[in-house]
Chains A and B, each alone.
Chain A
Amino acid sequence: MANRTQISTRNSALLAVIADEDTVTGFLLAGVGNVDLRRKTNYLIVDSKTTVKAIEDTFKDFTTREDIAIVLISQYIANMIRFLVDSYNKPVPAILEIPSKSHPYDPTHDSVLSRVKYLFSAESVASERR
């Protein structure tokens, strides 16, 4: 992921949010909200009526937009599209899984931590070095 590909410098890049209403409200209060000429926003409010397809499409859209540098996604929502999140491997935009009101953060489900967790096992590192 952090590799030889060039990372272009971007100024005024956006932070996208895929989360429940309260989390999105909070981050909009902090000034991250953006609406472009086509009335496309950089956030998606996920509620009980939001379909998995809609979340997937929004995730794909946010991760392919040039103007977005970080995508915040509630971990319980990331779990709904886990395959898509885990298969994403570009350095930018960075995907950060955040807790929600009813679902605390679980490091074992985080896509980056689950990828690197085997390095925490002393046995696996020691055996490779012998």
Chain B
Amino acid sequence: MEGQDQTRGDEAQQEKQKQEAEDENVLQFLDSADTFLTLMDSLSSTLRQGWLELASARHSMGASRISSALFDLKLHSAATSLQVTQHDVGSMVKRPHFTLHKWSFPDDETCCSEEAKFNEDKLQKNANSPQLRHRGTSQFSELLEKSPTSDGSSLKIDNQIQKERSKSLSMFGTLVSPKLRAAQLSFETALETLIVIANMRSSMISAFDQIQKEMEDIKQ
């Protein structure tokens, strides 16, 4: 009699845990979908700003000075790249996690992953509470100033980033309009947002697959 009660108790406990796991998947899905859509809005306004700045630069420098004909077609690798790692959701489910490495940032995995995590958290928070963006620096540079690294190393990294930015701008000439520099910063911000969007998308798909699997199990 007591054994039966204990079995029933264990089953009820397992059922409760299963229900909680299902609810967690639904919450993760809804949360990811909401953040995804909010970030897409943010991306749209960042891109609009970038296009406007590009158009202003073209107006001041001349259309022939900012055109695809000037793109660098010599052998060169991307200064801004991505790191893809595997994020284990459960014992069986795996999803990709993307990290942005900007402007040939030093190959210090701890530094980059901490910066990227800090950056991602900040962008996700911004998705919920929109703030005015300071002009003149991208969000990444702002975070760099506030991130927990020593002053010396962040100054060195900042100089390196500025050099890489100038190298990228140089395909349009030595003297470029400030609007072109502003456009560059806007598109950098857009890139940062896109990486967070990619991770939200990955999280949304993972939660969706889990929910679908649960629904199929219920049907059976």
Contacts and interface: CB of A to CB of B under 8 A. Distances in A.
A128 B169 contact: no
Interface band, chain B: 35 or more
Given A6-B94, A30-B168, A119-B208, A35 B76 contact: yes
A53 interface: no
B98 A69 contact: yes
B198 interface: yes
Interface in A72-95: 72, 91-92, 94
Interface of B: 26, 29, 33, 36-37, 40, 43-44, 47-48, 50-51, 54-55, 66-68, 71-86, 89, 92-96, 98, 101-103, 164-165, 168-169, 171, 180, 183-184, 186-188, 190-191, 194-195, 197-198, 201-202, 204-206, 208-209, 211, 215, 218-219
Contact of A33 (B55, B71, B96, B209): B71
Given A34-B77, A42-B78, 5 more contacts: A12-B83, A22-B54, A69-B84, A101-B48, A116-B29
Given A31-B103, A98-B43, A99-B47, A7 B78 contact: no
A34 B71 CA distance: 11
29 contacts: A3-B93, A10-B83, A11-B81, A12-B82, A12-B83, A23-B47, A25-B54, A26-B183, A26-B186, A28-B171, A30-B190, A31-B78, A31-B102, A31-B168, A34-B77, A35-B74, A39-B75, A41-B73, A70-B82, A91-B95, A91-B96, A92-B96, A96-B198, A105-B40, A112-B201, A112-B204, A113-B33, A116-B204, A119-B29
Contacts of A34: 76-78
SS class, residues of chain A in contact with chain B: mixed
A15 B82 contact: yes
Nearest to B207: A2
B93 A4 contact: yes
A29 B95 contact: no
A2 B202 contact: yes
Contact of B80 (A8, A30, A35): A30
A7 to B, nearest CB: 4
Contact of B51 (A2, A70, A101, A125): A101
